[in-house]
Chains A and B, each alone.
Chain A
Amino acid sequence: MEPLVAIMVGALTAGAVYLMLARNVLRFLFGLILISNAANLLIFASGRLTPESPPLVPYGADVPPPGVANALPQALVLTAIVIGFGLFAFALVLVYRGYQNLGTLDSDEMRIAEPKE
């Protein structure tokens, strides 16, 4: 399965880069979602892929059975997802407010801080 996950990560990254290079900041935002998904998937997969055995200790036991999934990247990815959501929400509000104040979603036309060419 590892090669397939690697292809997923690559496809998500490619889509994200393509979107982030767009003029429309809404597309940029979609790219942001894709690239955080790609990063989460990569971190998860770098801890190895272990099918169908979550890192849970059975009731009454002291240690999990051998061969459970790696818990550490899971913990990292879990908080990364929530933080990624916070980032996305903030960026969305920024885009929204930017559109209200500047009347455009085109990043080339957002030039308050830059001199007109």
Chain B
Amino acid sequence: MSSTSLIVRAATRVLTGLLLVFSIYMLLRGHNEPGGGFIGGLIGATGFILYAIAHGCRATRQALRVEPQMIAAVGLGVALLAGVIPLLIGDQLFHGLWAFWRYEGGYVPFSTILVFDVGVYLVVLGSVLTIVLALEEEV
């Protein structure tokens, strides 16, 4: 899988990293600005696909470390967990729970909503990569 040029391969290493960081940024800011789990997951998948085009599928799978369908399945589990936690403490299914860690001058929010969005991110990332990698390896 070294038909692509050295420059491309070197560049994609940087690009993939940037895209991944950007995807997580989009995921985290999604609650207040345009972004979110769907968009973040798609951007992350694009980054890995770029990597796969440059370095081949085998290298991409190694970089992922786990099977993409596993990522997607775990993501679905995470999303479900976010929905079930409020149920366990007597609230409705998928009811958002919030906790704020306050410090002087501001606060950091934690919520089951963010957990859910992370689940969405993982499902989209894993699903897209599952199909693209499998199809590319087939051809």
Q: Do chains A and B touch in the complex (CB under 8 A)?
A: yes
| Residues of A that sit less than 8 Å from B by CB | 54, 56, 59, 78-79, 82, 85-86, 89-90, 92-93, 96
B131 to chain A: which residues have CB within 8 Å? 89-90, 93
A79 to B131, CA, bound (A): 18
Main secondary structure of the interface of A (DSSP, over half): helix
B32 to chain A: which residues have CB within 8 Å? 56, 59
Whether A54 and B34, one on each chain, are in contact in the complex, defined by CB atoms closer than 8 angstroms, is: yes
Q: Which 4 A-B pairs have the closest CB atoms?
A: A89-B131, A82-B38, A78-B38, A93-B135
A89 to chain B, nearest CB (A): 5
Q: Which of B26-42 contact A (CB under 8 A)?
A: 32-34, 38, 42
A89 to chain B: which residues have CB within 8 Å? 128, 131
Closest to A89 in B: B131
Q: Which of B89-139 contact A (CB under 8 A)?
A: 124, 127-128, 131, 134-135, 138
B138 to chain A: which residues have CB within 8 Å? 96
A103 to chain B, nearest CB (A): 16
- Size class of B's contact patch? 10 to 19
A102 to B34, CA, bound (A): 45
A93 to chain B: which residues have CB within 8 Å? 131, 134-135
B134 to chain A: which residues have CB within 8 Å? 93
A54 to B32, CA, bound (A): 12
Q: A89-B128, A93-B134 are in contact. List 18 more A-B contacts (CB 8 A).
A: A54-B34, A56-B32, A56-B33, A56-B34, A59-B32, A78-B38, A79-B38, A82-B38, A82-B124, A85-B128, A86-B127, A89-B131, A90-B131, A92-B135, A93-B131, A93-B135, A96-B135, A96-B138
Contact digits for B44-62, partner A, Cβ 8 Å, 1 yes 0 no: 0000000000000000000
A54 to B42, CA, bound (A): 21
A24 to B18, CA, bound (A): 40
A56 to B124, CA, bound (A): 24
Closest to A86 in B: B127
**Can you list 16 contacts pairing A with B, beta carbon distance less than 8 Å?**
A56-B32, A56-B33, A56-B34, A59-B32, A78-B38, A79-B38, A82-B38, A82-B42, A82-B124, A85-B128, A86-B127, A89-B131, A90-B131, A92-B135, A93-B134, A96-B135
A47 to chain B, nearest CB (A): 17
A35 to B71, CA, bound (A): 30
